[in-house]
Amino acid sequence: MKKKHMKRIVSLLALGAVTLGSLALPLRAEASDGSSYVYDGYTYDFYGNAKESPAMFRLERTISAENMNGIALSGVDDVCTSEDGRIFTIDTTESRMNVFDGDGQLLISTRLVRTVDGTIALDETGNQIMLNAPEGVFIHEKQKEIYVADTGNHRIVVLDLETYGLLRIINAPEEQIGVTQFNPSKIAVDLADRIYVVVQSSYEGIIELTRDGEFSGYYGVNTPIVSLTDHFWKSLASDEQKAQMAKVYAPAFNNITLDGEGFVMAVTYDSAASDMVFRLNSKGENVLREEGNTPVIGDVWSMGTSDIGSQFVDIAVTDYGTYALLDRTKGRIFLYNFDGELLNAFGSLGNLKGEFKNPTSIAWLGDKLVISDKTLRCAYILMPTAFGSAVLRGNENYYFGDWDEALVYFEQALALNANYEAAYSGIGKNYLMKEDYETAMYYFKMGNNRTFYSKAYNGYRGEWLEAHFPLIMILFLVLAAAVVGSEIRYHKQSKIKAKAAMKLRNSRKGRATEE
């Protein structure tokens, strides 16, 4: 069927090319600069079938070497945004932090760190403070600070958000325990000013520092998968053999961010990890909600043995819990809402403008997404389409409890994509909150959401029982009366029988004595 369809398209194309000659076919509305690249996406339905979906995002702008005013740009390794719309990017190879405004204008490019007053900053030994192969940047809005992971110098440089001047330097904490080297790669700072530092390939977890840079412990647990065959061979092996076997270490976290409620969210692309996306509570346990129809693992199916599945290099979270995961295997972005429902998956590897080679980082800029690519040396700014904003607004309003608003947006989304289970589910939840159980049931059925259907049905059944209570009560009473009545009758009959039997026995006895 599909093949036939394809054939028809190909033949149509050929026909078009022949008849129109040099006239370009507007297959996809793409400008010559590729700026309107549209990210057609897909979602998964309950049965794991990929369902085509209209694009949620399209390419708005590319930040590349052209925007750098002559300063070299060798790659974009991390992206972070501030609330006022500035985009902070890290270029590891050139050891620079480049700051752009929302329109892609370069505001500042820092390698040599200056003081707040604008003079060159010196460290305690009197050397200039130069960034050396930094890997991460984080904006801490609460204290108006920029945290730069100065990986090559094993330190964290804290800058002022307004003047980009040096505030302080966090060196490797002296009292740190464990074997992890202090090579900060990615940073997050929570609302209590605790600093979380990800060190690549550290199996001990995320390093947690106090605001003053004192070591307070390792944070987050990540359990490795132990395969059954490994377990079998280990059970047979002698101690010497076991010592030679490769040790199974806890998988490292690879990237980290903070969600709107102050929870740390982290990702890993270690294939040995049992979880790939984490929402860590204060004890360091994973409390990520996975209530969607597919688990939060990106692509559900893998094609053949060479397909290693999605590998998440970065995560970006909105205030309303909707998060985007950046997959480097296929250059995809997976968008999940707070409940873990897949909203859309889009993007691909390739050579077109808007496609990726080696995606490294993702960040939200309001409703827009900023995605960086190391090999292409650029950052894309993606803006939501009508469908995209409807979905995002719907989830936002639902998250904050504005049911009526959310309903409007989900209905808009549904009008643009009738295969959208997340929207059906969203509408259903709104009706459930309004206690319109029957409508909610219809939408949950369309959205294949059995957990919530059950909740709606529970309400519906309760209402039905309440409405028909007299009838049920009468039926119950009739039944009870019938049971009791038959019991009494049975009892009576058995009494009569027993009496008759007694009489019979007595008369027999009497006869016996007479004889």
Q: Which of 450, 489, 492, 505 touches other proteins by CB under 8 A?
A: 450
Residue 71 Cβ vs other proteins, minimum distance, rounded to whole Å: 56
Which region among 180-188, 240-248, 447-455, 470-478 touches other proteins (by CB under 8 A)?
447-455
Task: Give the count of beta carbons closer than 10 Å to the beta carbon of residue 340.
Answer: 19
455 in contact with other proteins (CB under 8 A): yes
Residue 17 Cβ vs other proteins, minimum distance, rounded to whole Å: 36
Question: φ, ψ for residue 119 (rounded to 5)?
Answer: -85, 165
Q: How far apart are CA 326 and CA 362, in angstroms?
A: 7
Tokens of 278: 């984490």
Alpha-carbon distance values, 401 to 394, 416, 432, 438 (Å): 11, 24, 12, 21
Per-residue HEC secondary structure of 467-484 comes to HCHHHHHHHHHHHHHHHH
The three-class DSSP label of residue 432 is helix
Q: Which of 454, 486, 493, 507 touches other proteins by CB under 8 A?
A: 454
Q: Which residue, 211 or 445, has its beta carbon nearer to other proteins? A: 445
Q: Which of 100, 334, 409, 457 touches other proteins by CB under 8 A?
A: 457
Q: Which of 234, 461, 497, 508 touches other proteins by CB under 8 A?
A: 461
Residue 461 Cβ vs other proteins, minimum distance, rounded to whole Å: 7
Q: How far apart are CA 66 and CA 72, in angstroms?
A: 10
467 in contact with other proteins (CB under 8 A): no
Separation of CA 322 from chain center: 7
Q: Which of 119, 271, 451, 506 touches other proteins by CB under 8 A?
A: 451
Question: φ, ψ for residue 131 (rounded to 5)?
Answer: -70, 145
Q: Which residue, 11 or 454, has its beta carbon nearer to other proteins? A: 454
Residue 451 Cβ vs other proteins, minimum distance, rounded to whole Å: 6
Q: How far apart are CA 416 and CA 411, in angstroms?
A: 9
Q: From residue 298 to residue 337, what is the string marking binding to other proteins with x (rule CB under 8 A)?
A: ----------------------------------------
271 in contact with other proteins (CB under 8 A): no
CB 309 within 8 A of CB 268: no
- Residue 458's region, left for phi above 0, alpha for psi from -120 to 50, else beta, is alpha
Residue 492 Cβ vs other proteins, minimum distance, rounded to whole Å: 30
Q: Which of 46, 232, 476, 490 touches other proteins by CB under 8 A?
A: 46
Number of residues forming the site for other proteins (CB under 8 A): 11
Interface contacts to other proteins, rule CB under 8 A: 46-47, 445, 450-451, 453-455, 457-458, 461
